[in-house]
Structure 1
Amino acid sequence: MIELDNLAYSYGGGELLSEVSLKLAPGSFHFLTGPSGAGKTTFLKLCYGALVPTAGHARIFGQDVREMTRDDIAMVRRRIGVVHQDCQFLDHLPISENVALPLTVAGRDVQAEAANLDELLAWCGLTPRASALPPQLSGGERQRAALARAVILSPDVILADEPTGNVDWEMSQRLLQLLVELNRMGKTVLIASHDLGLIRAAKQHVQARVLRISNRRLQLAGADL
């Protein structure tokens, strides 16, 4: 689905990632770890075509990012749901409409998808907050809404950047369970996180492969996690 081949990425004159190779297979579950500033967010952006590698290759669903047009990138992103770290929403729209925005962008009939939207909001525990504006949501509610928005188009791949970074342990477990359920439905999941407790909890439910960015390289983390 997503393949990185001897990839490197430089930023501001310095190399941030080097000699990175990875294949995200259908239905796989990965964690990406590493210290702050190691390049986890950059790595995710390379996985969905927001950045182009400075060396090596990034292929998304068989297409090399360097050869893709802007329209090509837009089309493949409908198959990749991204949960961003900052959870940006349109504050003047209720959360139900924010979650539905990808449907509008994709040219889908939002009214025809109303039942699916209601089911997704219920699945994420957001039905009581569907009409609330984003500033009225708690941190956990915003994270769940971000996850709902990322999966509204039923993508093949979910990339989540520190999805539990701003919530308590109970809420992080709930968000993790949602991602585990998506993986059981056949979705490929990659979570960038520094929370080793979350990773250990996940490994009780799924066969999660743990990757670590260290010294610009991507490594397979030890079995002690």
Structure 2
Amino acid sequence: MIELENVAYSYGGGELLTDMSLSVPPGSFHFLTGPSGSGKTTFLKLCYGALQATAGHVRLFDRDVRGLGRDDVALLRRKIGVVHQDCQFLDHLPVTENVALPLTVSGQDADGADANLKELLAWVGLTSRADALPPELSGGERQRAALARAVIMSPDVILADEPTGNIDWEMSQRLLTLLVELNRMGKTILVATHDLGLIRAAKAQVQTRVLRISNRRLQMAGADL
């Protein structure tokens, strides 16, 4: 699904990440940890082609990102759903239209997918909020809407950047339940988080692998998590 081979990323003359190698197999569930500023968001952007490595190779679905044009990368990214840390909604559009936005951007008929869209909103518990605007949503509702938008195209991989960073524990558990359900459906999950409680809760439900960024390098986290 996603492979990194001796990957480094530099910005402004300084190296943010160095010598990173990782293979993310289909159906796996990974957590990515590390202190604030360690490069978790940058790492995720490398994993979905939003940034290009300054050294090494990133392969998405067996294709080296370095040799791809913008259109090719865009097509590959349809296979990857991303839950951004700040959700990135269009505040003038209701939840339904925000969730359906990837369909619109890709040129698909959002109206024709109406039944699936309703089912998806029901799955994340937002049926009653379908017509609400993003500023009217709670933190937990925003994150569940962001997850719905990330999976509307039925991607093979879901990447989530600190999805529980601004919500309470109960809502964190609800979001985790949705991610675990996706993984049990065969989806590959990679979640960047500093929440060790969330990782422990996930380990009790599904087989996970925990990675940590430390001193610009990627390491396997200890079994004590």
Which whole-Å CA distance do the structure 1 matches of 2:110 and 2:40 have between them? 34
Tell me whether 1:56 sits opposite 2:56 in the alignment.
yes
1:33-83 Cα shifts (integer Å, max 9, x gaps): 000000000000000001111110001111111111010011011100000
Match for residue 96 of structure 2?
A: 96
1:35 alignment partner in structure 2: 35
What secondary structure is seen at the aligned counterpart in 2 of 1:112?
A: helix
What is the aligned residue count? 225
Please state whether the residue corresponding to 2:149 is helix, strand or coil.
helix
TM-score scaled by length of structure 2: 0.99
Per-residue CA deviation, residues 123-174 of structure 1 (Å, 9 max, x unaligned), is 0000000000111111111010000000000100000000000000000000
For 1:198, what is the secondary structure of its paired residue?
A: helix
How far apart, CA to CA, are the structure 2 residues paired with 1:112 and 1:193? 36
Q: Tell me what 1:67 maps to.
A: 67
Structure 1 segment 159-174 matched on structure 2, within 5 A: 159-174=159-174
Stretches of structure 2 that go unaligned for 5 or more consecutive residues are none
Letter in 1 for 2:101: L
- 1:211 is matched with 211
Aligned residues: CA RMSD? 0.5
Question: Separation in 2 of the partners of 1:88 and 1:105?
Answer: 15
Question: Matched residues in 2 for 1:168 and 1:24: separation?
Answer: 29
Hey, what's the Cα distance between the residues in 1 that align with 2:93 and 2:8? 39
- 2: CA distance between counterparts of 1:65 and 1:148? 26
Q: Distance between the aligned counterparts of 1:117 and 1:208, measured in 2?
A: 29
Q: Aligned residue for 2:176?
A: 176
Supply the distance in 1 between the matched residues of 2:163 and 2:171 (Cα, whole angstroms): 10
Matched, 1:136 2:133: no
Find the aligned partners of 1:7 and 1:93 in 2 and give their Cα distance: 38
C-alpha offsets along residues 11-48 of structure 1, whole Å, 9 cap, x if unaligned? 12111111100011000000000000000000000000
Q: Does 1:150 align with 2:150?
A: yes
Residue 88 of structure 1: CA displacement? 1.1
5+ residue gaps in structure 1? none
**Distance of 2:89 and 2:207 partners within structure 1:** 33
Amino acid at match of 1:61: F
SS in 1 for 2:108: coil
Give the percent of matched residue pairs that are identical in Structure 1 and Structure 2. 80
Amino acid at match of 1:109: D
Distance 2:44 2:114 in 1: 30
- The CA distance in 2 between the partners of 1:208 and 1:106, in whole Å, is 32
**2:80 aligned residue:** 80
